[in-house]
Structure formats: structure tokens, C-alpha cells
Chain A
Amino acid sequence: MSQQSGKVGIDRDECERALGEVFREFFDDDSLVLRPEMTAQDIDGWDSLANIRLLLTLERKFHIKFSASEVGGLKNVGDLVALIVSKMK
């Protein structure tokens, strides 16, 4: 966990793994496996308010900030992974 403090580069695989951990904890579902094409419809409890909380949680975890337009442009898990990877560069 601690190695994610500070903006050190992260590749897609690492990001997906870390994201999977956050999702399983956040949605309280140990069996949850992330796939890039997943959307809010695929995960129980991923409503709009949960989405904001999830993004705030990711901001804290990765020490990054999302802008409103970035948040609005996210269509699926793959987009989210790509956005985090680009922010961690």
C-alpha cells in the first residue's frame, strides 16, 4: 500500500490490480474481478453518489485529482484505468 504514495509511474496491469483491491473493498465483494469493459451497470451498488465517493477514494489512494470533465468522460473501468495511468506518469 505504502509504495503507492507519491506519483510514481504505474502500468496498466499494476493499476488494474490496485483498482481491483479498491473495488472489492469499496463494494464489499471479495469475488469481484474487474474487466476493462465493465460499467456501473455491472456492479451492485455503483450508483452516481457511490461513483463520486469511489473517485474520491481513488484520489486519496493514488494521490491524484480528477477534474469534472475527466469524471464526465469515463465510460467504463478501462477508461478509469487509462486515466489513472496517465495521471501517475
Chain B
Amino acid sequence: MNRDLYRDLSWLPACPPGFNRLCRGMLESSGESFGAEIRQIANYALDDNQLLRLADTIEAGLANGYSSAPLQPFRLGVASNGTSELICKGIVATAARHGFALSCVATGYDQVLQDSVSPDSALTRFHPDAVLIALDWRGLPLLPCPGDANAAQSTIESALDYLDTIRNAIRQNTGAVSIVQNLAAPPETTFGSLDRILEGTLRFLIDGVNAGLAKRLRGSSDVLYDVAGLAGTVGLANWNSPSEWNLAKLPFAQVFLPLYADHVCRLLAALRGRSRRSLILDLDNTLWGGVIGDDGLMGIQIGSGDAVGEAYLAFQQYVLSLRNRGIVLAVSSKNEDETARMPFRQHPDMVLHEKDFAIFQANWSDKASNIRAIADTLGLGLNAMVFIDDTPFERNLVREALPEVAIPEMPEDPADYARTLSAAGYFEAVNFSEEDIKRASYYAGNAQRATLERQVGDVATYLASLEMEIDFRPFDEAGRARITQLINKSNQFNLTTRRYSEAQVARFEADANALTLQVRLRDKLGDNGMISVVICSPSGADVWEIDTWLMSCRVLGRRVEEAVLQELVDHAKRRGASRLRGVYCPTNRNKIVEQHYAKLGFTQIQTREDGSTVWELVVASAHAQPLPMVVRRFGCELVPSELNEWFVDPTAT
């Protein structure tokens, strides 16, 4: 499926199937959590039809007497020279995404001026909090006069005066803020490029109105809605649909209703001081390419000279520009603290530095708890936070535990990171002051650590909902290259850090005495590929020694280690071993697994001179725990159970 970033709001999670059913379900329930349910559904990437259905659902729910709390009431007037019904409904539904229970009243068709100046029009009596002045070029007196400079100037001035009259009347009659749209030019030109230069062409007049409007709104209490910029972003020829105007007076192509409405609601949020204020960033594959703990300082991709490194560089530059306008930055990374800070301290191509971050959380705890700690330490609400992570697992875990945090879906290609974050519009502002600049330094950029006070959310429930499938198979030819790569690359979750060539891996593969495992993990978010490798061989009569045990840090906290242990125990029992022996050989990278065997119930039996520790587990004492994943085995000689549905060959070896 090819989602367009802007048209399809693809920073938002895709809507699950059965949208109509979801809407009906809300109306058939008791309505107790109606407001929260609306908000949850509004946070999907809804298309125009879905927005309208959600608006109808909201209306029906309120008619049932359901409360829209915790959504905050907002009254918006809409003054349009086109069909405003669809625009209003689109905004009502979208507003829930931004925390508002929005009610909307539109001016009569072609009655914008009359309804604004009349003290007893429906608009005035509605007592709006804000009025969206949604006039397009067809709604202003813009008669082209190519070549007539004087007429062009007076046309521009009178259009601007007309807009001033409307917003002044609105302020006088209702006290409401006006949100004034500028003009998206139609793509048709009269002369071609000359239209931009020649006084009095439509394009010239529109340019003049847009420049003049920005000037008149600067320093006023009213707000600009840059529709010209938005239409330019998606393409003027896409935005302007002559047939939709002719058929139904739709002022822009209906397919852009979700985008248009989201931009309106960002402005409402900014007017209410509800824009986001803090950006929490993952590190590996978010601020640089690669994994610092495995790839090392010079192995990560950042900096110029390489397309991937430049993509991350551009993203860091964008993040720095947000920092410089007052957005408070924080890090949340699964890493050792020292390792995570290394690129900021030592890599010459990094744009961001430790001083740019107020909080620096690098540890192995779940990210939801870390983000809660960051918010608490900063004294900002979770609804002021944006969290960026390239990993769907982390995004969904935090979404589930902390629904108030904004978490954009990130594109595959880091070249699009900055654009995606910008398109999501989390940091919309309606003004910019000295205060804003000071704010960033108020949250002193000392990259301090925040104290984890408690675990938030129910990780077990989340893991169960992931529908994980773990896949065990002995080394084989198909997996050999990847196995060798993991053996030579993994530094962090690697108990012995023993490196083997592909030929050596092939020898383990052929050794009937050795037990080898390549482990893959799939879940409903996607296929994680091969994530763990184990090599085990007999050591003495009834002891099995774990020569190699490594795992990708991406799947930490998902109980994969426990599943691997159960697999090892099963194999050991089958082969008549009574004990499993594991060794931890410390390096400066693998502190994370120092207590690995202790956590799995092994007993330490020895500390060697080189600092490595030896651990043993009595196989008979190990009891299988229920794990939140389905186990699939390929090519192993275990007795089939209900779980190993793909059991292959009981007579192998």
C-alpha cells in the first residue's frame, strides 16, 4: 500500500478494518467513555468519508446525552464562499484528535460579510471562540487587469480591506479570534511565467494579497492559515479541482479534507496553548544509522559523504532547529549510558550534542516508564510530548501505555524523517517570542538522567497482544551467512563474544554432537528476522556447555531469552544431559548480560581469573513458564506438542 505522506496523514497509524463497526459500537455502548473513544479513533489516519462518519457519530452520541469529556469544548465559526458542510464535519471529527469537542456554525452561502457584520446573525449569536475565514480566490473581489499597475494595487488593497472588515466585525461582535486563510492560486496562467511579474494577472493579485495579509496579521491577535503553503506542498493542480467546484462548490479537492482539517485544528490547539513542547528521541537508527553498541563509533552512519549518513545528518539539523526555537529535547534509548553518549562526545560529524538535551535516558528499561520519568522530571504533561522511534514495537508499546504521547509512524527511509516530523505539525505555534527562546535554556541542557520511579502500563498484556511467533531451527545452509554475520557483529547481548568464520559455522552445522539454534521472531507488526543464535556442545558426560548465546537488542524485554532457555532445556533433556553450563565473558560492550544467567535461574559456580563467570542450571529443576508466544520448530528431533505444529522429522540425526 502506497500512502502519501500529506494526503493520507501517514504519520498517523492506519485505521484498522471495520471502521463503521467501531463507530456503531460507540453508539451502542453505555457512552461512559465516549469522549476518550472518539479521541482514540480520531487518532487513526482517517480518510474524508471516515471523518464525516465520525462527525455523524459524534453528533449522534451527543444527541444520546453522552458526555464528550475529557475533550475540551471549542466553538468554531466557519465563513466560506464554498460548501462549508463537509469542511465543518471534517473539522469536528479531526478536532477530537487534538483534544477538542468542537461545535461548528457556518455562515450562509455567500453571506460571509453580512453574517460577520450583523449583530444577530447565526454566527454572531453562536458566540464562537474563533472564526475560520475560509475564503478562496473566488470569494474575493479579484478582477484581473493585466498590465494595469494602479488597478492591480487598488484591487489588492480592497481585497485586504474586505478581509479586515470581516475580521474586525467578528472581533467587535463576538470577541472571537479570526483564523484567516491566504490564497492558493489556481494552476492556470494567462501568460505563463510572466504572470508572476506582470501587474494585474490573477497570480500577481494573489501574491499581493498573500504578502499583504501576512503583513496585516503580523502583530495582530488574529492568526494566519497558510493554505497557499499547504496547497503548494501537495501541488496546486491536485489541490484545485475544477470539477469538484463546479459540481458541488467544494473549494479544494475533497481528498484533502483530512489534511485541511488537521491544519485548522493545529491552529486551534496552538491558540489554546496545547501544542507539543518536548521531543523525545530514540538514538540507534533514529539519530544515526546502525547500532552504536554493536557497530561502534566509526561503524555508525552519520555525516556527509554518504547518502544514508547525510539523511541522519539532515534529521539532526532539523531537530536542532526545533531545539533553537524552544522545543525541549530528550533522549530515550535502550543502551548503556556511556555507550549512548559516545557519539555525542566523540563522533566528529554529530550536529547534536549532549548540551542540546535536557534529559538523557539510556538504559534497558521499557520506554514507557522512561518517557513518564522524562515528563515528570521536566514538569511537563505527557500531552506535551512527542516520541520518535524507528521501531514499531517501541512505538506501539508507548502508545498503549501512554496514549497522551504523540508518536508518529516513521518512514522506512531516514531521508524522510525530517519531513514526516514536520508534516505531523506537533509544534504548531501562533506566535514566537523571546520567552520561547529562553524556555529551551530554562530546561537546562545538562543531559541529566531522570529517575525511574515506577513501571507504567502493563507490559505483559502488551506482549500478549503482539501475537509473537518464535521459530527455532538448527543451523542450515540458508541461514549460514546471517548466522556468521550476527556472530561477528553482536557485541551487547553476547555472552562470550566468540567470533567464528563461515567455515567454522558450517562445521558446527555438520557436527552431530553440537546443538545449534537460529532463532527468528515474527509478530503482528512484522517480521524481525533472525534475532538470536545459540551454539551448545557436550562437555563431559552429562553437561552441556553454551559456547555462544547472542541476541539482537531490538527484541529485549520480550521474553525471547526465556523461550530460548526452554528450548535448550528441552534439547538437553532429550539428549540425556542433566546440567546446562553457561559462561559470561565480560567485554567493555556486554555489561547488559552480566546477570543474564542469574536472571534465568542459573547458579554461579566459578569466577575465573580473566573475570569471566561460570554458571550452571540443573535441567530437572527447570520448569517451563507460559510465554506470550507461539513456538515453531523446524528440523528438530523433539516430541511434537500442540505448539510445534511444523514439527518436521522425528528420526533426524
Binding site for B on A (CB under 8 A): 25-26, 28, 48-49, 52-53, 56-57, 60, 65-68, 71
Contact = CB atoms under 8 A, between A and B. Distances in A.
Contact of B246 (A49, A53, A68): A68
B20 A60 contact: no
Interface stretch (B149-157, B247-255, B585-593): B247-255
B20 A56 contact: no
Contact of A25 (B20, B48, B246): B20
Nearest to B53: A28
A49 B56 CA distance: 15
Contact of A56 (B23, B83, B246, B254): B254
Interface size class of B (residues with CB under 8 A): 10 to 19
14 contacts: A26-B49, A28-B23, A28-B24, A49-B83, A49-B85, A52-B244, A52-B248, A53-B48, A53-B52, A53-B86, A53-B254, A56-B244, A56-B254, A57-B49
B625 interface: no
Contacts of A57: 49
Nearest to A26: B49
A80 to B, nearest CB: 15
Contacts of B190: none
A60 B86 contact: no
A29 B250 CA distance: 26
A49 B248 contact: yes
Nearest to B83: A49
Interface in B190-246: 243-244, 246
Contacts of B23: 28
A68 B255 contact: no
Contacts of A67: 243
A3 to B, nearest CB: 14
Which 8 A-B residue pairs are closest in the complex by CB-CB distance?
A52-B248, A28-B20, A52-B247, A56-B254, A68-B246, A68-B247, A57-B49, A68-B243
Given A49-B83, A57-B49, 14 more contacts: A25-B20, A26-B49, A28-B23, A28-B53, A49-B248, A52-B247, A52-B248, A53-B48, A53-B49, A53-B254, A56-B254, A56-B255, A60-B255, A66-B243
Contacts of B53: 28
Nearest to B243: A68
Contacts of A68: 243, 246-247
B505 to A, nearest CB: 40
Contacts of A56: 244, 254-255
B86 A49 contact: yes
A43 to B, nearest CB: 15
A26 B20 CA distance: 9
A53 B257 CA distance: 12
Contacts of B49: 26, 53, 57
A5 B83 CA distance: 30
Contacts of A53: 48-49, 52, 86, 254
Nearest to A71: B247
A48 B244 CA distance: 13
A48 B246 CA distance: 13
Contacts of B250: 52
Interface string B45-85: 00011001100000000000000000000000000000101
Contacts of B85: 49
Interface string B247-269: 11010001100000000000000
A53 B254 CA distance: 8
A13 B478 CA distance: 47
B84 to A, nearest CB: 11
Nearest to A5: B2
A14 B48 CA distance: 26
A22 to B, nearest CB: 10
Contacts of B52: 53
A48 B248 CA distance: 9
B208 to A, nearest CB: 32
Contacts of B20: 25, 28
A25 B53 CA distance: 11
A65 B254 CA distance: 14
Contacts of A71: 247
